[in-house]
Amino acid sequence: MEEKSPDTLERILQAALEEFSEKGFLGASLRQIVKHAGVTTGAFYGYFSSKEALFAAIVEPHAAMLMGRFMEAQISFAELPEEEQPGHMGVESDSYLHWMVDYICQNREPVKLLLCGAEGTSYENFVHNMVEVETESTLNYMKTLRRLGRPAPELDHSLCHIIASGMFNGIFEVVVHDIPRDQAMRDVEKLQAFYTAGWLKLMEP
User: For position 20, which CATH number holds?
Assistant: 1.10.10.60
* Domain identity same for 93 and 170: yes
Full residue range of the structural domain in which residue 43 is found:
1-49
Determine which helix (DSSP H) or strand (DSSP E) holds 134, and give its type and residue range. Answer: helix 126-147
- Angstrom distances, CA of residue 20 to CA of 41, 51, 91, 111: 17, 10, 36, 12
- Output the pTM of the full model: 0.89
pLDDT at 204: 77
Q: What is the pLDDT of residue 1?
A: 39
Instruction: Give CA–CA dist 47/16, Å, rounded.
Output: 13
pLDDT score of 53: 97
Within this chain, do residues 117 and 170 fall inside the same structural domain, yes or no?
yes
SS (H, E, C) 99-127: HHHHHHHHCHHHHHHHHHCCCCCCCCCHH
Query: Do 17 and 111 lie in a common domain?
Result: no
**17 and 116 together in one domain:** no
Assess whether 167 and 187 both reside in one domain. yes
Task: Say what the pLDDT of residue 3 is.
Answer: 53
In this structure, the answer to whether residues 126 and 107 fall within a common structural domain is: yes
Question: Is residue 18 domain-shared with residue 104, that is, in the same domain?
Answer: no
Q: Are residues 136 and 195 in the same domain?
A: yes
Same-domain check for residues 71 and 169: yes
C-alpha 57/C-alpha 63 separation (Å) is 11
Low-confidence spans in the chain with pLDDT less than 50: 1
CB distance 154 to 182 below 8 Å: no
Q: What is the pLDDT of residue 87?
A: 81
Query: What is the spatial distance between Cα 10 and Cα 131, in angstroms, rounded to a whole number?
Result: 33
Instruction: Kindly state whether residues 140 and 192 are assigned to the same domain.
Output: yes
Q: What is the C-alpha to C-alpha distance for residues 108 and 96, in angstroms, rounded to an integer?
A: 17
Are 176 and 121 contained in the same domain? Answer: yes
Q: For the chain, how many structural domains are there in total?
A: 2
Last residue of a domain, one of 30, 49, 68: 49
Contacts of 37 (CB under 8 A, 6+ apart): 8, 11, 12, 14, 15, 16, 44
Do 29 and 128 lie in one domain? The reply is no
Select from 11, 30, 49 the last residue of a domain: 49
